[in-house]
Amino acid sequence: MTMYISKRFILLFFCLTALTLAISTPLTQPVALAAGAQFTITGQTGGRSGTAFHIEGSGFTPDGSYNLYTTTDEASCTTGDPDTLGLQAFTPATVTVSGGSLSQDLTWPGSISQAGKYYLCLVNATDPGGTKTVSSNTFTLAADVTLSVSPTSVTAGQSVTLSGKNWLPVQQLNIAVIAGNGDTTVLVGNTDVLPDAAGSFAINLTIPDTAKAGRYGIQAYAVNDKTLMATRNDSLTIKAQATPTPTPTPQPSPTPTATAQPSPTPTSASAVTPNQDNNKATPPPNSEMGGTNMNLLIFGMAGLGVLFILIGAVIFAVSMQMEN
């Protein structure tokens, strides 16, 4: 009897244990990521729409497709509906896990354009509300690049400063002053400009002395990524150098030549009558008055001659009568 009760007790114990395990174990195990799952953004960790980068990860369970989202708050990458968590779908949204690992090249989508730092969030495609994995670092989406020139008006031969910001990812840039208005003919440039960690640069360029006067543009682009480019037409005025005015050569003063002085013409003494009052010479009488006086003198003398002849004739006649 005792043996029989012991067997029944042992059987009951095993049945209760099996029932407890059955109750505590769900019929279907939910899909979840392994606690050790992690991934990192490698290569470029900053840029703008179109920038290529890479992600590497391990410790994922199970293998298969995972959906990729972005968020500015890593705490949002948690259990729950991605839409209610404020996660923004990445494009393309699918990442493949094989052997618990992932390695995939990605390009930052144009649909996510607001500048800032973004985490990536991986969600198992078969259980979007389940456990998620956030990237261990961020991708910095830069604001639009800037490009400017100072001063905006110079004379050929002077220098200008070209500067820019947000040129991310950091890489070698080609900076130039160009003809402008769609003409990319380079007037002067530098093909080896490297921005700082924030994507900023400033470089001096000297305008050639021979540059023609006119309006010019400025341009910058990444040497290995022509999609990273900025052009500003008609942003620089160049004035031609002034043509120097030749300095006149002083001419020697001419040596004065002695000029022969005319000899004074002697004046007839009768032509000049001294003036008793001021000793100034009295000009000769008027030629007309002199001629008139001369005529009167001649007529007077002729009249006297006639008179003397008449008197002589009378005397002769009287004398002849007295002799008779």
Res. 233: pLDDT tops 50: yes
Between 168 and 232, name the one with better pLDDT.
232
Res. 261: pLDDT tops 80: no
Task: Quote the tokens at residue 267.
Answer: 């004046």
- pTM score, two decimals? 0.55
Residues 102 and 39: beta-carbon distance below 8 Å = yes
Please list the residues that pair with 146 across neighbouring strands. 165
54: left (phi over 0), alpha (psi -120 to 50) or beta: beta
CB atoms within 10 A of CB 136: 13
pLDDT tens per residue across span 20-44: 544 443 333 333 444 589 999 998 8
Domain 146-239 has CATH 3.50.70.10: no
For residue 21, the model assigns a pLDDT of 44
pLDDT tens per residue across span 65-109: 999 999 999 999 999 999 999 999 999 889 999 999 999 999 999
| Mean pLDDT, residues 296-308 | 66
Domain 38-141 has CATH 2.60.40: yes
Peptide bond into 92 cis (omega under 30): yes
At residue 223, the 3 state secondary structure works out as: coil
Q: Given this chain, do its domains 38-141 and 146-239 carry the same CATH topology?
A: yes
Task: Quote the tokens at residue 51.
Answer: 């920038």
For residue 249, the model assigns a pLDDT of 73
Domain coordinates in residue numbering, the chain: 38-141, 146-239
In one-letter notation, the amino acid at residue 166 is N
